[in-house]
Amino acid sequence: MRIAHLSDLHVSSPAGVSPARLLNKRLTGYVNWRLRRSAMHRPEYVAAIAKEISRQAVDHVVVTGDITNLALEQEFDLAAQVLRDGLGADASCISVVPGNHDLYTGGAERAQRFATCFAGYMTSDLPLYSVSVPAGRFPFVRLRGPVVVIGLSSALARAPMVASGCVGRSQLHALARILEDKEVRGRTPVIMVHHPVHNPPSCVKSALEGLSDAGELREILNRLTRGLVVHGHLHRRVRRSVRTIAGSIPAVGATSASLQHPDEARVAGFNVYEIDDAGSVTHVDAHVFEPEHGTFRSRPIASTSEYPPPLSRA
């Protein structure tokens, strides 16, 4: 099975927004967009990536959050169009989880914009395990051949300049039960979550941009004999490991699908994972976008023990 992974699209559409709607956390996000993000995040890169994924023979697409930039209604509409028309795949072949930018404000959280817009990409084959969280009903479970895709939400509305996340006790308890389900045990779990399961070494950075219950999540993953964790948030391709009873499983981050950057580890692209019939992850490759040619170059993602230097994610 071949799985394509993209993240952090940061679809932006602030034009025509009432100034009153910027009198909250969006004000700092809007200023950041005007000064930096509008030049760094290129929608044409996302379109190129969607076209390339649709051209390749992949069985499933996973999108690990920050699909929008300010969680505005028009941004969700544009993002949904990208997934629907750009990828050209049925919703059953695409799984989506939210990032901190998708629940950017309390209003977006209360209005359930993410859950409403992307409901078709989060249907669950085992809905009894899902619990209500700010982004909707999670975890969702999608049984796909030798793989089970499990979507977690780590997204919460936070104060300005804070981009941290939390899975929460109810989702963690549900995940533990899911991994014991007879429909799941014979498959390779692909765990989707926006925030990485490894926090920055600094306590301050962990509080501002990390996953507050990363340790608890890793404890649950410890019982796996095989599997894969995929995330976004860092705007960088990165591969680390999660220790398990059988050794370890890879935890792989995709860069931002819209990012213009001179560093090959950061510039826009997507990842592809191959899982064989025995459930082993056999290939972990990055498809790096080359904007000057409009082409993609495939390369392996090397393991690293270092935490990547930060980009602004608030």
Contact predicate 48/290, CB 8 Å: no
Least confident of 29-43, 106-120, 235-249: 29-43
What pLDDT score does 306 carry? 60
Average pLDDT across the chain, whole number:
90
Give the whole-angstrom CA distance, residue 126 versus residue 56: 29
Parallel/antiparallel/unpaired status of strands 94-97 and 295-300: unpaired
Give the whole-angstrom CA distance, residue 247 versus residue 60: 26
- Backbone φ and ψ for 77, nearest 5 degrees, come out as -60, -45
Q: CB neighbours (10 Å) of residue 278? A: 9
Question: How confident is the model over 202-219, as pLDDT tens digits?
Answer: 999 999 999 999 999 999
Residue 3: which H helix or E strand, with range?
strand 2-6
- Provide, rounded to the nearest whole percent, the portion of the chain with pLDDT above 90: 76
Taking 60 as the threshold, does the pLDDT of residue 26 lie above it? no
Taking 50 as the threshold, does the pLDDT of residue 18 lie above it? no
Average pLDDT, integer, range 120-146: 97
Higher pLDDT, 26 or 137: 137
Taking 60 as the threshold, does the pLDDT of residue 309 lie above it? no
Note whether residue 308 is domain-resident.
Answer: no
Average pLDDT, integer, range 126-140: 97
Taking 90 as the threshold, does the pLDDT of residue 106 lie above it? no
Least confident of 85-89, 185-189, 308-312: 308-312
Least confident of 38-47, 130-139, 177-186, 291-300: 38-47
Note whether residue 306 is domain-resident.
Answer: no
What pLDDT score does 12 carry? 79
Cis peptide bond prior to 189, omega within 30° of 0 = no
Q: Please give the tally of structural domains in the chain.
A: 1
Burial degree of 16 (CB within 10 A; 0-12, 13-18, 19+): exposed
Taking 60 as the threshold, does the pLDDT of residue 62 lie above it? yes
Note whether residue 111 is domain-resident.
Answer: yes
What pLDDT score does 159 carry? 83
**CATH number of the domain that 201 lies in?**
3.60.21.10
Note whether residue 201 is domain-resident.
Answer: yes
What pLDDT score does 291 carry? 93
Question: How confident is the model over 143-168, as pLDDT tens digits?
Answer: 999 999 999 999 998 888 889 999 99
* Helix%, strand%, coil% for the chain, nearest 5: 30, 25, 40
- The helix/strand/coil state of 103 is helix
Contact predicate 72/5, CB 8 Å: no
Taking 50 as the threshold, does the pLDDT of residue 58 lie above it? yes
Supply the angle between the helices 214-221 and 169-180 in degrees, to the nearest 10: 10
Note whether residue 46 is domain-resident.
Answer: yes
Note whether residue 310 is domain-resident.
Answer: no
Place of tokens 């499933």: 60
Note whether residue 190 is domain-resident.
Answer: yes
What pLDDT score does 191 carry? 98
The confidence band for 41, taking pLDDT boundaries of 50, 70 and 90, is confident
Note whether residue 20 is domain-resident.
Answer: yes
Give the whole-angstrom CA distance, residue 7 versus residue 46: 10
Range of the domain at 17: 2-300
Average pLDDT, integer, range 113-126: 96
Taking 50 as the threshold, does the pLDDT of residue 260 lie above it? yes
Taking 80 as the threshold, does the pLDDT of residue 100 lie above it? yes
Give the whole-angstrom CA distance, residue 291 versus residue 287: 12
Question: How confident is the model over 170-202, as pLDDT tens digits?
Answer: 999 999 999 999 999 999 999 999 999 999 989
